[in-house]
Amino acid sequence: MNSRVGHIWFMVVASTFFWGSNFNCAQILANSVGPLTAAGERFFVAVVLFWVMRYSVGNAESTLSRKDFWRLVPLGLLGVFGFNYAFFTALHTTTALNASLVMSLSPLLSTIFSVLLLGSPILMRQYWGMLIAFAGVCLVITGGNFGLVHVAVGDLYMLFACGVWSLYTVGAKRFSPNIPPLQFARWTVTVGGIALILAALVLERPLSDISHLSIKTHSILIYMGICGSLLAYIFWLKGVHFLGPAKSAIAFNLVPIFTLIVNLALGILPNYAQIIGMLMALVGVLISIGWRPAFMAARGI
């Protein structure tokens, strides 16, 4: 793995860390702020920073045609507005770990959409990697007790979020491959962020609610805006651009692993099943991107 590819994978993994910690953050915020208000403040921060970055460097990365712009609008509504409304709503009625388990279906859905929309080939090691990683994720979330997984309203919202995110990921490669990742992220986050703010103004009371939020709540939303939106979207779309959606999507199996790690930082210790599951998920991701254990390499597997 050369240094450039390694750098791209580092950014992809960093984006999954930011998103994994977002589940913990959204869980903390669930009882103090409405989903649209939370998403609106988060993306207000992200949109402002995106455009500060844009004007600090001078010229745009490329000149968008009218056709390109009208492709970015539905992608922004899908991957930013649709995903984040469902995401924040889900965390009102399900746990952070349960939601991250549902989200780990993204590699499977992205692979299916890649085959349908891009005609992408699927390698046998990717099948094995996804299978091992997903089995590990299931262990991490359930602690080996699969009876803990139940279909709640929040799980259904996360299933919807997972679907629209997978479409957004594949759509970025299918419909806008000529747009630089940073420019793509800036415009889709702007479109989705404006939609979230407008929806909050119509359906909730963001102006009055935000004024009563604690400094802790604002700090969490600012973190989600900078790391979970600005940096995560830039890093993720660079990965999709250079690696392709099917390959980069496998890293989504790390999202619940990072959610678990944040829980550890909060003093919640894992059991043996969660430790085994975490290792399985990591091995699955490594196998999917080309790493093979010594016994597999020796047998030509």
Both tokens of 107, joined, read: 């590699």
Q: Which residues contact 209 (CB under 8 A, 6 or more apart)?
A: 33, 34, 37
Mean per-residue pLDDT of the chain: 83
Element (H, E) at 95: none
| Percentage of the chain exceeding pLDDT 70 | 89
pLDDT at position 225: 94
pLDDT at position 151: 60
Give the separation between CA 189 and CA 284, rounded to whole angstroms: 30
Give the separation between CA 280 and CA 286, rounded to whole angstroms: 10
Q: Is the pLDDT of residue 301 over 60?
A: no
pLDDT at position 207: 86
pLDDT at position 289: 62
Let me know: does 111 contact 122? Beta carbons within 8 Å: yes
Q: Is the pLDDT of residue 299 over 60?
A: no
Q: Which residues contact 145 (CB under 8 A, 6 or more apart)?
A: none
Mean pLDDT in residue range 57-71: 81
DSSP string, 203-246: HS-HHHHHHT--HHHHHHHHHHHIIIIIIHHHHHHHHHHHH-HH
pLDDT at position 293: 57
Query: Residue 141's pLDDT band (boundaries 50, 70, 90)?
Result: low
Q: Is the pLDDT of residue 298 over 90?
A: no
Nearest to 168 by CA among 78, 239, 252: 78
Give the separation between CA 273 and CA 70, rounded to whole angstroms: 47
pLDDT at position 292: 61
**pLDDT tens, position by position, 185-232:** 899 999 999 999 999 999 999 888 888 889 999 999 999 999 998 999
| Percentage of the chain exceeding pLDDT 90 | 29
Give the separation between CA 44 and CA 41, rounded to whole angstroms: 5
pLDDT at position 39: 93
pLDDT at position 57: 77
Q: Which residue has the higher pLDDT, 118 or 296?
A: 118
Mean pLDDT in residue range 287-292: 66
Q: Is the pLDDT of residue 3 over 80?
A: no
Of 53-57, 106-110, 145-149, 273-277, the one with minimum mean pLDDT is: 145-149
Of 120-134, 171-185, 230-244, the one with minimum mean pLDDT is: 120-134
pLDDT at position 137: 74
**pLDDT tens, position by position, 88-125:** 999 888 888 778 877 877 777 887 788 888 777 777 77
pLDDT at position 266: 78
**pLDDT tens, position by position, 8-35:** 889 999 999 999 999 999 988 988 889 9
Q: CA separation (Å) from 185 to 209, 257, 299?
A: 28, 25, 43
